[in-house]
Amino acid sequence: MKASYAKPDGPIFDANEIHEDSPRKEGPWYCSTTGCTVQYKYHRIATYAVDEPGRVLRSGTFAHGEDRHHLPDCYMNEHALRQRIINDHAAVLVKDGDKLLLKWGRAPVKDAPSATPTVRRPRTTTTREAYAGILRAAADIARVVDDSDNDESVLARYWIIHHGIRYTWREFCYGPDGDDLHRIIDSIEGTYNPIAAPWPRLVRAIVSDPATSTDARVLLNLRAPTKRRNGDYVRLSLFAKPHTPVARQLLTFRSLEQVFVLADDWRAGSGRYGPSVWLNTPEQISAQ
């Protein structure tokens, strides 16, 4: 999240650049959108997390003041943004108070009451049309979250309900930043179980090499556009059965092209492959 220091057209700072002992901390701070004069109360550090190199700042924000009337086209105008997203993606969104839920997949079917009730793994019945609508909405929301610099109040507004299970935006969306994409590895390894409920994950990455093809499969390798703090790239692999529409789609992507990939059956990495998934339909991947 960014804001102008001292006056509406003052120098713009990212909230993550302002440290606890900065003389600028108390502000005044203004919305950084040109022409928008909303004033924030002060700068506050929102979230720290413990990561490999130690304690790191996850996100910084500016505290809201009384005036929240951002310009209609300001990226911090939550009401206007929310309304546009609802209008553009009404078929796949459900309102829940001030939250928007991206919803697909039927809830699991419970067996008739018995001494040992079981929950069946829901069949993956996501249709091509559903994937297309969900992926368009998810890509749009990802851009809204980007524009807010991962502002926590924006992140808290978007949720996923998949087969009746609720996920936060961060449990659903990974990348493109290397460290952010790396979270998917822990997420999959922590939960992978062939009979567990499918977990929907949206990956944002770039194509590392053009797809290759054998009699058994078409393979497209992806990676994060940026290295992690430790110098590594996070890599992922997409597979498709040969001569299918999605295989032909994978063969069209060029190196460094940015993509969104949506699937609910990502598998943990093994051998020389990172986390991977077999795609069923071209609607599961789109260029950003």
- The distance of closest approach from Cβ of residue 138 to Zn ion in the complex, given in angstroms and rounded to an integer, is 25
Choices 6-14, 68-76, 122-130, 193-201 (CB under 5 A): range interacting with Zn ion: 68-76
Q: Does 138 bind Zn ion (CB under 5 A)?
A: no
**Per-residue interface string for the shown chain with Zn ion, residues 31-60, x marking contact by CB under 5 A:** x-x--x-x----------------------
- The distance of closest approach from Cβ of residue 93 to Zn ion in the complex, given in angstroms and rounded to an integer, is 24
Q: Please answer whether residues 122 and 106 qualify as being in contact, where contact means their C-beta atoms are separated by less than 8 angstroms.
A: yes
59: Cβ contacts below 8 Å, ≥ 6 apart: 1, 15, 16, 46, 47, 149, 150, 151, 152
Return the number of the residue (36 or 238) whose C-beta is nearest Zn ion. Answer: 36
Give backbone dihedrals phi and psi of 53, rounded to 5 degrees, phi first: -75, 0
**How far apart (Å, rounded) are the C-alpha atoms in residues 210 and 98?**
42
Q: Does 76 bind Zn ion (CB under 5 A)?
A: yes
Return the number of the residue (39 or 276) whose C-beta is nearest Zn ion. Answer: 39
How distant is the alpha carbon of residue 7 from its chain centre? Answer: 33
Q: Does 74 bind Zn ion (CB under 5 A)?
A: yes
Choices 71-79, 86-94, 111-119, 192-200 (CB under 5 A): range interacting with Zn ion: 71-79
SS3 for 95-107, per residue?
Answer: EECCEEEEEECCC
Return the number of the residue (76 or 173) whose C-beta is nearest Zn ion. Answer: 76
- The distance of closest approach from Cβ of residue 68 to Zn ion in the complex, given in angstroms and rounded to an integer, is 9
Helices (H), the chain: 78-88, 128-147, 152-155, 169-172, 178-191, 245-250
Q: Please answer whether residues 3 and 13 qualify as being in contact, where contact means their C-beta atoms are separated by less than 8 angstroms.
A: yes
Choices 17-25, 63-71, 169-177, 244-252 (CB under 5 A): range interacting with Zn ion: 63-71
Q: Does 154 bind Zn ion (CB under 5 A)?
A: no
The percent of the chain in helix, strand and coil, each rounded to the nearest 5, is 25, 35, 45
Return the number of the residue (15 or 279) whose C-beta is nearest Zn ion. Answer: 15
Q: Does 70 bind Zn ion (CB under 5 A)?
A: yes
**How far apart (Å, rounded) are the C-alpha atoms in residues 224 and 227?**
7
The binding site for Zn ion (CB under 5 A) comprises 31, 33, 36, 38, 70, 74, 76
